Structure 1
Amino acid sequence: MKFAKPAISVDDQLDLLKQRGMTVPDEVRARHYLQHISYYRLRAYWLPFEGAKQGDAHCFKDDTSFDDVLSLYVFDRQLRLLVMDAVERVEVAIRASWAHHMAMSHGPHGYLDQQHYSKVRHHASMVDSLTKEFDRSRDTFAEHYRTKYTDPTLPPVWMAAELMSFGLLSKFYGGLKSRAERQAIAKPLGLDEKVLTSFAHHMSHVRNICAHHGRLWNRRFTIQMIVPRYPARLAIAMKGADSRNIHNTLVTLDQMLRIVAPGTTWCDRVLLLMAECAFANPQAMGFPEGWEQQPIWKAGQVQEVGQ
């Protein structure tokens, strides 16, 4: 089938939305956001407001307003910022735990020794990727190492941990042959090594979605994380949740933040954000029935905070 949809102007986009039953309280404001966000990006946020299909397009449910759609878009944007805030702190902690363990157990460059990894071919590919990332880096420490040292050509593990992508870091961690080593790296973070391996892979996927400003709140993830057996607080919170949505990501980030950032109020900020948007349906985010009564969501008092 040949694509034959024509491009349409912002004014025509607005007319089309009104023809489909969307109310537009402020047309100047609506044109502004269609211009600066785009019709196509906003489309993902009015899908929950669509009703029966008439002809080639769905009509909107009664009383659907452009402001409602914009409210959901703003909620998702703020959720991405909160998730990225948590991911940054958790990611840094994972990098630190991996680098410290490898340095103390195998020396500054022991992480490059293929005997520590279960698949030699995969390790070679990881080292090749790291070499490319190191050669591209313009960080002061990378340029200093390249200028001063010729052997080994790659930097010590504590430098490598700072310059490699998180996706590559998760491969170095998950590729370790010894479960005891993976467990030693995971222990300071409060998770079993299998859960941390799974979550690191999943978190890398979520991080990429956030970095590209993708829709997060009701997304169905293709890369899911393992549901842990412990800590019990985390396992109980995930019972009945849809593992393909954001709920399990949020509670795992919260669990890890409580370890790496004691006193954090991140969970309260998530709750406050959800309470402020009437259209942020928890069910669409994978929240289980009765989630409000779970200890993980009742741990702190909801308040407007900046930590």
Structure 2
Amino acid sequence: MPYDKPFKTFDEQLEILKNRGLSINDMEFAKIVLQDISYYTVVNGYKNYLIPDRSSDTFIPGTSFEMLYTLHILNINFSSVLLKYISYVENSVKCKLAYLVAKNYGVYTNYTDLKNIDPSDYLCRNNYINNKFRNNTLERIKKDIRGQQAGLSVNHYKSKNHIPPWIVTTSISLGETIHWYKILKPHLKDELLDYFNSLRCLNPLDKREFFIKSMDLCKEYRNTIAHGNKVFSETFKIELPKRQLQILSHNFMDGINIVHSSGRKGNVAIIFAILILLRNRYAISNFISDLDSVFSLYKDVDFNGKNILTLFSLPDDIIDRMVNMLPLII
């Protein structure tokens, strides 16, 4: 039976690329790259940006193997910066959530009580709104505390007389953190969002929606990156809400079509969401600096008539836009 994708040696793979119009300046280097990364990742992952159209398998004249590899490295560097600051956002939200839960409901939880009916337990179901996610969310948190993968901090506190919420947050995922926020009573949701000065111009309902969508977009990007998938010029399922984005973005979204959903869920959107959620001047300044370092070395490099920021679906002045947003969100 002839297979669509039969095995090919590294030399045969390089010959296929040359026949498709790709120039290879250093055959030994190209072979090492294929051994380390794979043909699919380095070629199929980025070829659509360097071919005339999606129906073609032939590269635009002048496209080199080194160009494809450079895009791959830039995607890794860009993803690493996003992952770093999404993690910062996650930790920040967990800290605020744990503080509010402890302040209002105490520091004790009975992690063997999966029904969550003990009124002295900060995870008691009566402390939260009665929606379809409540019981499952609380039960999953308890199971995370009980599980073998709970983490060193939680396991250490199991020998104490209580496990406070700021320890529990070290063992739960970003998704569970978002669900925990979603089941908070409205006044606690709003109290948490009061920490974000950047959202002060929105009414409470709009604040909540924008916050949830921003966190969900962060989660989608983080999961994509963690599974080794590219974020290069991609759009995602989660989109930031248009009305709030128009109010909050000032000039940040100039030239970005946020009426069309693609302008609210790509790389510009995740950068904006992280800016809004970071809140810390030092962290934001470092985020800007780290992103600038990813692209600055390649800003004058021509990728078959496109610059690197265009390939990442970012405006040429993205760093300036971030700098200009800083005084508006602190």
1:107 CA displacement: 1.8
The answer to whether the Cα contact below 8 Å between 1:52 and 1:59 also exists between their aligned partners in 2 is no
Query: Identity over the aligned pairs, expressed in percent?
Result: 19
Query: May I ask how many residue pairs the two structures share in their alignment?
Result: 291
The answer to whether the Cα contact below 8 Å between 1:102 and 1:157 also exists between their aligned partners in 2 is yes
The answer to whether the Cα contact below 8 Å between 1:102 and 1:111 also exists between their aligned partners in 2 is yes
Distance of 2:244 and 2:164 partners within structure 1: 35
Which of 207, 221, 231 is matched with 1:216 structurally? 231
Answer yes or no: is 1:282 the counterpart of 2:282: no
Counterpart of 1:142, as a letter, is: V
Aligned to 1:126: 137
The answer to whether the Cα contact below 8 Å between 1:254 and 1:267 also exists between their aligned partners in 2 is no
Unaligned runs of 5+ in 2: 110-120, 200-206, 257-262
Answer yes or no: is 1:182 the counterpart of 2:189: yes
1:79 CA displacement: 0.4
Which of 109, 112, 115 is matched with 2:126 structurally? 115
Aligned to 2:203: none
1:41 CA displacement: 1.0
Distance of 2:192 and 2:157 partners within structure 1: 26
Distance of 1:176 and 1:263 partners within structure 2: 28
Which of 175, 181, 188 is matched with 1:167 structurally? 175
Structure 2 vs 1, CA of residues 274 and 28 (structure 1 numbering), >3 Å: closer, same or farther? Answer: same
Deviates more, 1:39-48 or 1:13-22: 39-48
CA deviations 1:210-238 (Å, max 9, x no partner) are 21221112111112233463796634313
Structure 2 vs 1, CA of residues 70 and 132 (structure 1 numbering), >3 Å: closer, same or farther? Answer: same
1:77 CA displacement: 0.5
Structure 2 vs 1, CA of residues 227 and 240 (structure 1 numbering), >3 Å: closer, same or farther? Answer: farther
CA deviations 1:44-83 (Å, max 9, x no partner) are 11221112578xx510001000011111111110001111
The answer to whether the Cα contact below 8 Å between 2:23 and 2:63 also exists between their aligned partners in 1 is yes
Structure 2 vs 1, CA of residues 145 and 269 (structure 1 numbering), >3 Å: closer, same or farther? Answer: closer
CA deviations 1:181-237 (Å, max 9, x no partner) are 212112213333322111111111111112122111211111223346379663431
1:105 CA displacement: 1.8
Distance of 2:273 and 2:40 partners within structure 1: 32
Aligned to 2:271: 250
Deviates more, 1:27-36 or 1:132-141: 132-141
1:260 CA displacement: 6.2
CA deviations 1:7-65 (Å, max 9, x no partner) are 222111111110000000000000101110011111211221112578xx510001000
Aligned to 2:292: 271
CA deviations 1:265-287 (Å, max 9, x no partner) are 32133134223233464345444
Aligned to 2:116: none
For the residue of structure 2 that corresponds to 1:59, the secondary structure is: coil
User: How does 1:1-307 map onto structure 2 within 5 Å?
Assistant: 4-42=4-42, 43-51=44-52, 58-108=57-107, 109=109, 111-134=122-145, 135-137=147-149, 139-149=151-161, 155-178=163-186, 180-190=187-197, 191=199, 192-227=207-242, 229=244, 234-241=249-256, 242-259=263-280, 261=282, 264-277=285-298, 278=301, 279=303, 281-287=308-314, 291=317, 295-298=321-324
The answer to whether the Cα contact below 8 Å between 2:25 and 2:64 also exists between their aligned partners in 1 is yes
1:166 CA displacement: 0.9
Aligned to 2:115: none
The answer to whether the Cα contact below 8 Å between 2:275 and 2:284 also exists between their aligned partners in 1 is no
1:264 CA displacement: 2.5
The answer to whether the Cα contact below 8 Å between 1:101 and 1:185 also exists between their aligned partners in 2 is yes
For the residue of structure 2 that corresponds to 1:238, the secondary structure is: coil
The answer to whether the Cα contact below 8 Å between 1:90 and 1:253 also exists between their aligned partners in 2 is yes
Counterpart of 1:30, as a letter, is: A
Counterpart of 1:50, as a letter, is: I
CA deviations 1:244-276 (Å, max 9, x no partner) are 311111122134335263572321331342232
Structure 2 vs 1, CA of residues 106 and 131 (structure 1 numbering), >3 Å: closer, same or farther? Answer: closer
Counterpart of 1:209, as a letter, is: T
Counterpart of 1:21, as a letter, is: G
For the residue of structure 2 that corresponds to 1:222, the secondary structure is: coil
For the residue of structure 2 that corresponds to 1:193, the secondary structure is: helix
Structure 2 vs 1, CA of residues 292 and 4 (structure 1 numbering), >3 Å: closer, same or farther? Answer: closer
Structure 2 vs 1, CA of residues 52 and 200 (structure 1 numbering), >3 Å: closer, same or farther? Answer: closer
The answer to whether the Cα contact below 8 Å between 1:234 and 1:252 also exists between their aligned partners in 2 is no
The answer to whether the Cα contact below 8 Å between 2:98 and 2:166 also exists between their aligned partners in 1 is yes
